[in-house]
Amino acid sequence: MAQIDLDEPTRPQLAALFGCSSRWIGELRSKGDLPADGSSLLENIEAWAQTKYGVDDVDPDSLDKEQQQARLAKEQADAKAMDNAERSKELASLPDMVAAGAGVIVMIVAQLQQVGARVAKGDTKLRSRVDAEINNVLTDLSMARIEEARGGGFDEGEPEDEAGA
């Protein structure tokens, strides 16, 4: 995982940290359960703890032994429920879903790249035009565009130039 920006963590960074989707972070922000973009990591963690556990102070030393045990038991139960759901195929991990999606995309791209040869049947000018149009479409449907659409990106270090997008 990329290093988390302590001053202004991104939605994908928070999602990875909290073990949820970037979309879920957006939903929590829209409900006011998490602070808006530009908030520090500490502000986000405090809000997450308040939302998830109903506590204002996440310092484990401030909780009495019974509260700590209850919190730990809940976390363990949640983790076990997630494991059971994944094992029973009710839930798929994000890496598994991304791998499956990438596999389908690779297969589709390979088939689309054969269209020019099939359609042109020896006409090099026609094949060149068909290949160029297919490549334009594939560029528009690239993984970077998919990541951008779901609220994240591969390079979270620097903001993209919006004039070029």
User: Could you tell me the residue ranges of all domains in the chain?
Assistant: 1-58, 60-91, 94-149
pLDDT higher than 50, residue 99: yes
Which pLDDT belongs to residue 95?
A: 81
Tell me, what's the pLDDT at 131? 92
22-26, 44-48, 90-94: range with lowest mean pLDDT: 90-94
Can you tell me the mean pLDDT for 80-108?
A: 81
pLDDT at 59: 58
What average pLDDT does this structure show over 17-21? 82
Phi first, then psi, for residue 140 (nearest 5°) are -65, -30
Average pLDDT over residues 41-48: 84
Find the mean pLDDT for residues 138-152.
68
For residues 74-95, give the mean pLDDT: 81
User: How much is the mean pLDDT over the chain?
Assistant: 78
- The pLDDT of residue 37 is 85
Confidence label for 130 from pLDDT (cuts 50, 70 and 90): very high
Q: What average pLDDT does the segment 34-56 reach?
A: 81
Residue 72 has pLDDT above 50, yes or no: yes
